[in-house]
Structure 1
Amino acid sequence: MKPIIDTHIHLDMYEESFRDQMLSELDLYSITQLIAVSNDLHSCLRTLTWSMEDQRIKPALGFHPEQSLPTNQEIEQITDLIHRYANHMVAIGEVGLPYYTRKKNPGVILSLYVELLEHFLLLAKELDKPVVLHAIYEDADLVCDLLEKHEMTRAHFHWFKGSATTIDRMKENGYFISITPDCVYEKEVQSLIRNYPLDQLMVETDGPWPFEGPFKGKITHPKMIHDSVEKISELKGLPAENIYNQLYKNTIDFYKIDSF
């Protein structure tokens, strides 16, 4: 197995015992680094703490949109952390728009989430950091509008789903997407892989989110990325070694992190 990076994982959502085991096995599976995203203030603090103890953990600080809006105090505290640890963190994220929350509760006021997202985008631009985005289907178009408005190109749409028109727009703007292990069995994701430029792809687990197919019943582990690479290799018609090398380079360059 060649070196690879998990570009989107929620470390704070794992049970402690499994998280410790998983971290102890990273070298065994050639996972050199993890881009650890945050959900809220508490998550930011935990992610920062772990990243200070393990240089393989690269923190992203933000507020996940699929939940109730944070208080003004929490926004201020997260913003303060972002400023204080700007030289240590690698990105702002996970941020975006509440697609699934709105499906469950049509009363959600989207404009307030757009305002919060724009706050984080402006922070990312100010600090010259990439932004890790939760934005799918029609929400992706709203996010593209904001990115274009602020002339931002370092955008990473994780686990992306959307229309062909949106995909073309994202490709043209140079935005990156990351592929999850469901690419092994999901036709929609396989079509996206065929269509999206290899030099704008990365891989992730979004762990501990569970997967089906050959991963059914298993706790999501960064080692599953190797299955994703093999499927990308098959779909792109290129040797796996080429895929590993390109995905690794993409991630190192996008996040401006050192190779291990």
Structure 2
Amino acid sequence: MIDFHCHLDLYPDPEMAVRQADEARVYVLSVTTTPKAWRRTSALAKSCVRIRTALGLHPELAHERHTELPLFEGLLPETRYVGEVGLDGSPEYKLHADVQKRVFKSILRFSSRQGGRVMSIHSRRASDEVLDCLRGEPDAGTPILHWFSGSMTQLQRAIDQGCWFSVGPPMSRSVRGRSLLASLPRDRVLTETDGPFGQDNGRALNPSDVSGMTEALAGIWNSSVEEVSEQLAANLRRLGVAVRKPSIGSMPNV
């Protein structure tokens, strides 16, 4: 199982969340929302071979935490993973669009200078703006659009630009979401929960809940659960993660 976007440090009991993910043998990308949170969050999973911690500066916090960009740049050599970063065009955050864009462009530039990173990217109501920024920094790394909710035209543009996608259970619950899922390039898809923000009937999703998304993809793609699991594991290997078939193994120390 793969949960490629989860906020382990934001669960009520982060240590328990890490322990449960480890016991369930889930590959987790633990994203952070500020550079200051990265080292502490990384320490939570220091003994877990399947969990990696991404260095983030969330767009909803960019106007408050943009002064942490030097810290971000200083920490970046210590991890291959960046997230959660990006842009948010929701009405309550659109006021801060300029600082969001400045922060995101800086992060992409830092990543380019470091040879590229695997990036988990937020693009709510800002798909075109995110894609414009990515086009301006083609060497920033592998962009994985988390919980993509743009139009079909924007989806095709993202596909054409080489983007990947991490998808979670809430996306499979609407006609529009299922249409997007059906249109994704299967060799560029990973599952996620966005826990604890991603929820199921008011319950925060845990990393092991990605099994439900694997089943949903099987139905949408007209494939077996085993075939989807193999595809997801192959996709994770393409990102440079050592995964033993069917999807059990350990992530390299990078």
Matched, 1:199 2:187: yes
Distance 1:71 1:177, change over 3 A: closer
Identify the residue that residue 246 of structure 2 maps to in structure 1.
Answer: none
Matched, 1:11 2:8: yes
How far residue 50 of structure 1 moved from its aligned partner, in angstroms, is: 2.0
Preserved contact between residue 62 and residue 93 of structure 1 (Cα < 8 Å): yes
Q: Which runs of 5+ in 1 are unaligned?
A: none
Matched, 1:116 2:114: no
Distance 1:73 1:209, change over 3 A: closer
Matched, 1:64 2:58: yes
Q: 1:189 aligns with which of 171, 177, 196?
A: 177
Matched, 1:166 2:154: yes
Preserved contact between residue 92 and residue 132 of structure 1 (Cα < 8 Å): yes
Q: What is the identity, as a one-letter code, of the residue corresponding to 2:101?
A: V
Identify the residue that residue 24 of structure 1 maps to in structure 2.
Answer: 19
Identify the residue that residue 238 of structure 1 maps to in structure 2.
Answer: 223
Distance 1:160 1:9 in 2: 15
Q: Which shows bigger deviation, 149-158 or 186-195?
A: 149-158
Distance 1:6 1:41 in 2: 21
How far residue 105 of structure 1 moved from its aligned partner, in angstroms, is: 5.4
Matched, 1:257 2:241: yes
Matched, 1:151 2:138: yes
- Secondary structure, aligned partner of 2:2: strand
Question: How many residues are paired up?
Answer: 242
> Structure 1 length normalisation: TM-score?
0.86
How far residue 7 of structure 1 moved from its aligned partner, in angstroms, is: 0.2
Preserved contact between residue 15 and residue 44 of structure 2 (Cα < 8 Å): no
Q: 1:129 aligns with which of 105, 117, 122?
A: 117
- Secondary structure, aligned partner of 1:54: coil
Preserved contact between residue 37 and residue 62 of structure 1 (Cα < 8 Å): yes
Identity across the alignment (%): 24
How far residue 36 of structure 1 moved from its aligned partner, in angstroms, is: 0.7
Distance 1:125 1:51 in 2: 27
Q: 2:39 aligns with which of 45, 48, 55?
A: 45
How far residue 48 of structure 1 moved from its aligned partner, in angstroms, is: 2.1
Preserved contact between residue 4 and residue 190 of structure 2 (Cα < 8 Å): yes
Distance 2:66 2:203 in 1: 38
- Secondary structure, aligned partner of 2:46: helix
Identify the residue that residue 232 of structure 2 maps to in structure 1.
Answer: 247
Distance 2:129 2:177 in 1: 21
How far residue 132 of structure 1 moved from its aligned partner, in angstroms, is: 1.4
Distance 1:146 1:222, change over 3 A: same
Preserved contact between residue 87 and residue 100 of structure 2 (Cα < 8 Å): yes
- CA RMSD of superposed structures (Å): 1.9
Could you give the per-residue CA deviations for residues 179-221 of structure 1, whole angstroms, max 9, x where no partner exists? 111134222221111111111111000000142xxx2132311
Identify the residue that residue 252 of structure 2 maps to in structure 1.
Answer: none
Distance 1:94 1:41 in 2: 10
